[in-house]
Chain A
């Protein structure tokens, strides 16, 4: 997949934000951006809990993971809803969908008020086309594996690392399964390499599946007055 221009990458609003937060590094920088994004984020992080503060980088990594899980779960959920995926692939949307939705739930619970919202997706008919669906499923699961892997060593909290690692291997199982169904070698190499955020972002952007940034919760101007 070729690298895309900044303009095209603008569509990837949610990932872009997560990227800035991860590469921003310091807690101060993160909070600075949080103020811009909305008061809810700042409020959530400002609560010191029993002397332990949330590592800003951990929050950013989880939000990055959450965005990818939103993409996967929405994809499989739509495929199941439309019911066009048939034959050998029939149980893939409900089964993978259930797992990816569980990942979304877990990440949202861990993040609380700091969780990014689901972006708007347009899967452009791929969820109704058996060969395209399978090809995309292979790509998504390989991508999820590589994304989790790259971030694992950066996670500060041991509990979150354990959780991320236990999801990472499930993504790899999915990847092997989808490849098996596609007639492609399930494990192409002895060592799987990670992918950095910039590469993941470019791949997601190249799908054109993400069409809108998540909507903000607060409205500046109330809809009704008086």
Chain B
């Protein structure tokens, strides 16, 4: 085998508009593996994620987008902890995770300064008191967080990306943890599919947790 087109995958372009070039197309094709023997996890083809050149101004928009999500999670876990209806593994989970999300909010507010968006109006219904509703909501929120951060990774400046990377893996740990508690497969896929901002907003809307923002 020689002269493989796969070398075109390794584009050294910096700040280029991506998603439409042949190199990126090939990259997606190559990185989407085939089915594994024995019904193992599939490598998922990277969806076409909206990309644009990184800049501090764009970082700010993305961090504010992340801040809204972190506000939702922090509010959700704080309320669940305060209502004192969770027991056992779920109580262990919420007792720890609420501190993490609060720290994420604090970090993002600090990074954004006066540009930080305000906390959205939140209403969690019985998701913060009923164990089953809580579990389902926690899974949905953590999965959305991972997909949201992953979806924006290529849009961030490198400095901000390095910081976001320290957060997304914690959200992924949360996802693995709550799924394990729920008796669900903590890591069903070989890669975590990113979501666009629009897809994330749609997922958030489906929760019904956010009132006027």
Interface residues on chain A, size class: 35 or more
Which of A4-12, A15-23, A54-62, A116-124 is the contact stretch?
A54-62
The SS class assigned to the A binding surface is helix
A59 to B22, CA, bound (A): 19
B12 and A162: CB pair below 8 A? no
- Is residue A105 within 8 Å, beta carbon to beta carbon, of the partner chain? yes
Count residues of chain B with CB under 8 A from any CB of chain A: 74
Contact with A along B147-177 (1 / 0, CB 8 A): 0011001100011011001111111111111
Q: Which of A50, A105, A152 contacts B22 (CB 8 A)?
A: A50
- Is residue B133 within 8 Å, beta carbon to beta carbon, of the partner chain? no
- Is residue B79 within 8 Å, beta carbon to beta carbon, of the partner chain? no
How many residue pairs, one in A and one in B, have C-beta atoms under 8 Å apart? 241
The SS class assigned to the B binding surface is helix
Residues in B whose Cβ lies below 8 Å from that of A102: 33, 36, 40-43, 190
Residues in B whose Cβ lies below 8 Å from that of A194: 162, 165-166
Q: Which of A59, A110, A112, A162 contacts B153 (CB 8 A)?
A: A162
Residues of chain B at the chain A interface (Cβ within 8 Å): 1-14, 16, 18, 22-24, 27-28, 30-31, 33, 36, 38, 40-44, 46, 49, 51, 96-97, 99-100, 103-104, 107, 146, 149-150, 153-154, 158-159, 161-162, 165-177, 180-181, 185-187, 189-194
Which of A92-100, A201-209, A213-221 is the contact stretch?
A92-100
